[in-house]
Amino acid sequence: MRETIAKAVGSRGFSLAFSLTVLACAASLALPAPAFAGIAEDINAWLCGVLRDTCNWIFAGQTDMLRSIGTDGVLAADFAQMLGSAGDVTMYDLVRGVWEAAILPIGCGMLSFVFTVQLIKVSQRMDGNASMPGVKEVVFMLVFFAVFLFLIQNSFDLMQAVYQVVQLAIDRVTGLFGTGSELDLEAVSTTTTDDDVAALVAMLVVALVSWLVVIVAYVVALVVSWARAIQIYVMAAFSPIPLALVSLDETRQMGVGYLKNFAAVCLAGIIILVLLVSFPIVLGGLNAASVGAPVVDSIVGGLSYALQYLAMCVLLILSLVKSGAWARDILGG
C-alpha cells in the first residue's frame, strides 16, 4: 500500500493536479467576489418609498373627495336644479306648486286681513270735520296694499333672486381660487423624505384613521349642502306668509326675521365653499418637523403632523355643522 501511494504521489499527473489546485486557490483569494452588504439598505429604501407614496396617495384622495362637493355639487347648482330630478318632476316643481296652490292664497288672505284691520283703525280716527286727512290715509293704505300684494304674489321669484345673488358670489369665489389646491405632503414634513420606516408606518396608520374621518366630513358636507337646498326650497315656498306679516306693525319683526334667516341659509353656501377650498391650504401650512431632526424627533414630528391633520379633519366637520350658525351671526343673529 505504501509503495502504491508513494508511486501515485511521485507521478507527474499528481504534481500537475496539485499545482493547478494551489493556483486556483490563490486566484480566488486575489480576486474576491463582491459582497452584497447594501441589500438591507435597498430594501429599507424601497419599503419607505412604498409607504411614502401610499401616504401621499391617501392624503391626495381625501382632498380630491372634499373638492368634489364644490362647484360640481349642490353648492353652485342653479335654483331649479339644486337637488336634481326624478323623471319629469323636480323638487323645484314640487315646492313651486305648493307655493302657488296652497301658500299663496294664505298669504293673500293674511294681507287682506291686515288691510281690513288697518282700514278699521283709520275709520275710527275719522270724524265729520276731518274727512280729508282720513281720505289721505285711505289712499296711503291702498298704495300700501298694492305694494305688499305685488311682493306676496312674486315672493317665490324674489327668494329665487336672493339665491341667485349668492350663487353669483359662489361662482366668483370658485373662479378666483378654484375648488382647492393639491396637497403635497413632502413639502410640509421631513418624515416623508427620511427613510424612516417606523415614522412612515405611524403616518400610514394615522392616514387610514384620517381617511375614515374625511369620509365622515364628506358625508357631513353633503348632508349640510342638501339640507341647505331643501331648507331654501321650503322657505321659498312659505315666503308669502312672513311677507304678509311684515305689513303689520305687531308682527313685522317676525317677517324681518324670516328674511334674515333666508339670507343666512343662502349665505351658508359661501361659507361651506370657503371651508372646503381652504382645507388643503391650511393643511399645507402645518409644520410638523424641522429639517435635520434626529430619527426620534422625526418619528415624533411625523406623528405630530398626522395628528394635526386628524384634528383639522375633525375641525372641518365641526365647521361644516356650524356654517349655518356662522351665517346667522354675520347677519346679526
- Of 33-37, 254-258, 305-309, minimum mean pLDDT range: 33-37
- Cell, residue 167: 350663487
Helices and strands (DSSP H and E) totals, the chain:
12, 2
- Please give the residue range of the domain that contains residue 171: 40-86+155-330
Number of domains the chain is built from: 1
- Specify if 148 maps to a domain: no
In a domain, 111, yes or no: no
Residue 176 burial (CB count, 10 A): 8
Residue 130 lies in a domain: no
Q: Residue 289 domain-assigned?
A: yes
Determine, yes or no, domain membership for 103: no
pLDDT digits (tens, 9 = 90+) for 12-66: 554 555 565 655 555 555 555 554 446 767 777 788 788 878 877 877 777 677 6
Distance CA 288, CA 307 (A): 10
Rounded distance between C-alpha atoms, residue 6 and residue 10, angstroms: 6
Kindly state whether residue 236 falls inside one of the protein's structural domains.
Answer: yes
Nearest to 69 by CA among 165, 177, 180: 180
Residue 257 lies in a domain: yes
How confident is residue 278, by pLDDT bands cut at 50, 70 and 90? Answer: confident
pLDDT tens, position by position, 132-186: 556 777 778 888 888 999 999 999 999 999 999 998 888 888 777 765 555 544 4
Residue 227 inside a domain? The answer is: yes
Residue 53, strand partner residues: none
- pLDDT tens readout for residues 206-240: 778 878 888 888 888 888 888 999 999 999 999 99
